[in-house]
Amino acid sequence: METHFHAFVNWRSIAVASLFGLTGRLEPLLWLIILVFYAWWIATHCAGKFFLHALAVSVLNGIWISLIHALFFSTYMRNNPEMLAGYQKLPQGISPRMMMLIVGPIIGVLTGVVAGLFAWVAAKLLRGRIVTA
């Protein structure tokens, strides 16, 4: 159980690090590694519905990360100037915080499809070695 806890803390740490602009250009690579970890964990701990489990985890991640970024908007913008530049291009009257809350779950769904495919493939590759939770 300790190993799973540390993995949980690690991906949470990446999400919080992004709040402070510490992940920079490495963030997509870090999230790819996290998606591969999800795939392995789901394939080895779930009895079935691998795609749906990975999709659900990614959507929840998209929601909670967008909530953190919206709640700590000033900190996030101060530490992520490239995001600030992007939000400044929005049409007048569109709230950047609201945009975060809308786009976060959408990104969660898109990454969830990728994570779901990874989990499904991992389950097929690990067939016979899968341990149910």
Q: Minimal CA–CA distance to 83: which of 63, 110, 64, 103?
A: 103
CA distance 92 to 15: 29
Assigned domain for 19 exists: no
Q: Which residue has the higher pLDDT, 121 or 77?
A: 121
Q: How far is CA 124 from the centre of its chain?
A: 23
Mean pLDDT of the chain: 79
107, amino acid identity: I
State the average pLDDT over residues 56-69.
89
Q: Which residue has the higher pLDDT, 25 or 68?
A: 68
Distances (CA, A) of 107 to 41, 99, 131: 21, 12, 30
Q: Structural domain of residue 59, as residue ranges?
A: 25-125
In this prediction the pTM is 0.73
CB neighbourhood size of 64 (10 A)? 15
In a domain, 17, yes or no: no
Q: For residue 90, is pLDDT > 80?
A: no
The answer as to whether 57 is a domain residue is: yes
Tell me how many domains the chain contains: 1
**Residue 66 above 80 pLDDT?**
yes
Residue 6's pLDDT band (boundaries 50, 70, 90)?
very low
Domain presence at residue 91:
yes
Instruction: Quote the pLDDT of residue 13.
Output: 62
* 36 assigned to some structural domain: yes
Which 3-state string (H, E, C) describes 6-40?
HHHHHHHHHHHHHHCCCCHHHHHHHHHHHHHHHHH
Q: Which H or E element spans position 86?
A: helix 81-87
d(C-alpha 63, C-alpha 46), whole Å: 23
CA gap 62, 103 in Å, rounded: 8
